[in-house]
Structure 1
């Protein structure tokens, strides 16, 4: 059990509520026994003494709850546990009240007045039961609320931790994917043109430096991601000169929004992978703002078709669902393929 100081400090608001309710309760009882204003009598100290009894009920219920939770070896539903708290608390409160009353009666020699009459004894115990039902009920409802708040925080904390782990796993899949594809291109360029291969390697090293920089980040500034996407496209131009074209709306560089790392690079790579651009029919990739960040490209499909596994877009969609509670939108026609990324307006990247 916590110290008295921490007990009162942590439950100040509820104790204030109990104190106010005690005043109302005493006033209501006084009005009930008074037949007129002249007959009405109110003793200012009465609510304070009654409040002490109510505080004991609250403390006793809290104590019973802690002790049962510690001693319980079996999993019991929350509802059954609180019924047990209430039953044990009520029974023990009545027993403690009678024992305490007996001790006081013997000390002050008032046993015959307090326990000599069966009616008075029954009346006293019924009063104790009613007090416990009211204020013990309040106490258990408050303790249930506190326990539920803690539980909800634990659930939220678990979900956040789970989401972060999933995001880390998704990024771990994209990063090697980016590395593997570009090393394949470099391998081809080395055989075709060593000078272009050297230029490609220099640009690739700059981009991979950004990749390492953003590896531990869930979100980066859109401006940073746009520069990275441009750099990535320049790498692709080293292999596909004139076959693909990239146009980015200038206003996007001024938007104070954040995005997951590599999201635009994934869309550009997707357009290049699934479309056979040529000098006569290049693939035009447009990145604009339209109810989000829209990437659209015309379709110049391979004659036999080229099926991808869809992992990159699926991972991207899952990242946005975890980070923005919204998913990407994909729209496809005979002529165009379009992906819209939802806006995330958090100004500071994590």
Structure 2
């Protein structure tokens, strides 16, 4: 009983629709037959009887679906088989119920003569086809909704897994590069190396926290990027200059996006005190990161893995793409802002 009550509650709106449809149908038939309006036309007993017979049909169809449907996907052949057999069983059940009622009230000759039998059978067949179609459409709609939710969860799990893989690749990359800087500073200036290590520890704490997030706010990332740029200046001084906007900072961004682009500018360009590499971060509808190009004389070819990694993260998280523009004098990356 608890299971039946639960099923009724879960499908209450569909059952209400069936009842209302049966009521409207009964009114239409009575008006068509009687040709006039009176109180009898609006009485609900015919609609209730139709509703009960429809529920019997639903039970029969559900029984065949559970026992005959083998595949999880929609199969026209299976549905036709289930629907046709359900109609036959439904007609048989309705005739048995009708016979028992007629037997109880002594009206077998009246209700089971040839003309009445053919008419009621045809009427039951039409009702079975109509209400059975309603039930199948509703059942497979619900099944499709569940399937879409499962598909969404599956895609979300794949996205989460892919993002985690990409971040796993970025973290060692960030750590390795900065440990190289620390190693060089230790040889050049131990006090400077100590200050660098303290700031690096604070910054790396942010990196570890950000690794657990898909997105961070643009404001957080911009603050982190400026702190990271201070680490760059430990090694290069004013050979690289940064100018960043601090207005209209809204929305979200993939963690470490700006840091990676700053690192990219340093890695591929040779700045000096007299001819620095200028980097600008402009925030509007998108974030534009631009750096001047001063190519290194003998630079080893890089794989571009980190930049491709960043592009892939954006392609997983949003339909907007990370754009890269390059001229002889400037390299520009346009990062989409993901709404909060």
The whole-number CA distance in structure 1 between the counterparts of 2:186 and 2:84 is 81
Q: Which residue is equivalent to 1:159?
A: 155
1:272 to 256, 262, 266: 266
Root-mean-square deviation (CA, aligned residues, Å) is: 2.3
1:225 equivalenced with 2:221 (yes/no)? yes
* Equivalent runs, 1:247-262 vs 2, <5 Å: 247-251=243-247, 255-262=249-256
Structure 1 unmatched ranges of 5 or more: none
CA distance in 1, matches of 2:116, 2:286: 76
Q: Does 1:81 align with 2:75?
A: no
1:149 Cα deviation (Å)?
0.9
Question: How many residue pairs were aligned?
Answer: 340
Matched, 1:143 2:139: yes
* Distance in 1 of aligned mates of 2:96 and 2:277: 90
Equivalent position of 2:66 in the other structure: 66
TM-score by length of 1: 0.90
Structure 2 residue aligned with 1:180: 176
Aligned to 2:14: 14
Report the Cα offset of residue 229 of structure 1: 0.9
**Equivalent residue for 1:127, pick from 118, 123, 129:** 123
- How does the TM-score come out when normalised to structure 2? 0.92
For 1:39 and 1:206, locate their aligned partners in 2 and report how far apart those are by CA, in whole Å.
83
Is 60-69 or 170-179 further displaced after alignment?
60-69
Closer/same/farther in 2, CA of residues 269 and 39 from structure 1, 3 Å limit: closer
- 2:27–2:41: 8 Å Cα contact kept in structure 1? no
Q: Greater CA deviation, 50-59 or 237-246?
A: 50-59
Q: Write the distance in 2 (CA, Å) between the matches of 1:146 and 1:46.
A: 29
Mapped contact 1:62–1:143 kept (Cα < 8 A):
no
Contact 1:246 1:286 in 2 (8 A): yes
> 1:335 is matched with which residue?
329
Residue in 2 that maps onto 1:189: 185
Q: Which segments of structure 1 move beyond 6 Å, counting only runs of 4 or more?
A: none
